[in-house]
Amino acid sequence: MRGRVRFAIAALGFGYAFLYLPLALVMIYSFNESRLVTVWSGFSTKWWSALLANEAMLSAAWLSIRIAVVSASTAAILGLAAGYALARAPAFPGRALFGGMVIAPMVMPEVVMGISMLLLFVGVDRMFGGPARGFLTIAIAHTTFAIAFVAIVVQARLADFDRSLEEAAMDLGATPWATFRTITLPLIAPAIGAGWLLAFTLSLDDLILTQFVAGAQSQTLPMRVYSSVRLGVDPQINVLATIIVVVAAGALIVSGWLTQRR
């Protein structure tokens, strides 16, 4: 028994150290005086002020946030419908295909989705003369990719709770729509909220899909980060990393609170 506890502590200790040590170092070095990210030369907040004065980075962040709000909201609606259909719809022809199509974007290599969506937008543009690549095409791409994640959260929540509540409402004469609105929706609302948050952060982080469908005018935050990181380590990116980790932790705590609540 003793050995088992020690094994558990060792496994978790090693795993968490592996996951968090690199991030912790990046965060610590955001307060480094030196431009070199590998040499500690004293505490300084100058890279923080440099990032906060970096117009290009800030406008990219603002664009990313607006895209993330739009795509997360659309994905929440579509993911809710998909998750509900997967958990509650009686067997229908093509159900396996439907399930596969909902889940596939979650694991599909992003370069494959990226090129396919770009070709679609180019084709639509040639046929109908629009829309131009930019905000709208990025938001559509992010939505398509995020539906899977919302659907899985919603589906898991629906599989967990007692179906008899819905059945009771129906027996008492409620229409399916009224049952959904007054019973199901309030019960799964936290899951939808958690799914929205996940879709939001996924959209905020996405580089590959965005790079394909963005067009020449739009520069999102990950695109800026990528072009800067390719040239080597940059203390301003450390600052950004610190902010992202803190925001992600906040979002995750809210999401955890939403899904744990009964």
Partner 1 sequence: MRAVIALPLVWLGIFFLLPFVLVLAIALGTNAPDSVPPVALGLSFANFKLLFTDDLYLAAWLISLRIAATSTLVALLLGYPMAYAIARAAPARRPLLLMLVVLPFWTSVLIRIYAWMGLLARNGLLDQFLRWTGLAENPGTIIGTEWAIHLGIVYAYLPFMVLPLYATLEKLDTGLLEAAADLGARPLAAFLTVTLPLSLPGIVAGCLLVFIPSVGEFVIPDLLGGTETLMIGKVLWDEFFTNGDWPLASAVAICLLVLLLGPLALFQRQQARSLERRR
Q: Which of residues 162-191 bind partner 1 (CB under 8 A)?
A: 176
The DSSP symbol for 30 reads G
Among 184, 201, 203, 210, binds partner 1 (CB under 8 A): 201
Among 35, 41, 46, 123, binds partner 1 (CB under 8 A): 123
205 binds partner 1 (CB under 8 A): yes
Cβ of residue 227: shortest distance to partner 1, in angstroms?
11
104, amino acid identity: A
Cα 4 to Cα 8, 17, 188, distances in angstroms: 6, 20, 38
Cβ of residue 245: shortest distance to partner 1, in angstroms?
5
Count of positions on this chain that bind partner 1 (CB under 8 A) = 92
Structure tokens at 47: 């890279």
- Binding mask 5-24 toward partner 1 (x if CB under 8 A, else -) reads --xxx-xx-xxx-xxx-xx-
Structure tokens at 101: 């199509």
When the beta carbons of 7 and 62 are compared against partner 1, the nearer one is: 7
**H-run or E-run covering 167:** helix 164-171
Question: CB burial class (10 A; 0-12, 13-18, 19+) of residue 161?
Answer: middle
Candidate segments 83-91, 128-136, 165-173, 187-195, binder of partner 1 by CB under 8 A: 83-91
Q: How far apart are CA 69 and CA 51, in angstroms?
A: 23
Among 68, 70, 138, 147, binds partner 1 (CB under 8 A): 147
Which three-class secondary structure state does DSSP give residue 162? coil
Identify residues 46-75 at the interface with partner 1 (CB under 8 A): none
The DSSP symbol for 43 reads B
Among 84, 135, 138, 188, binds partner 1 (CB under 8 A): 84
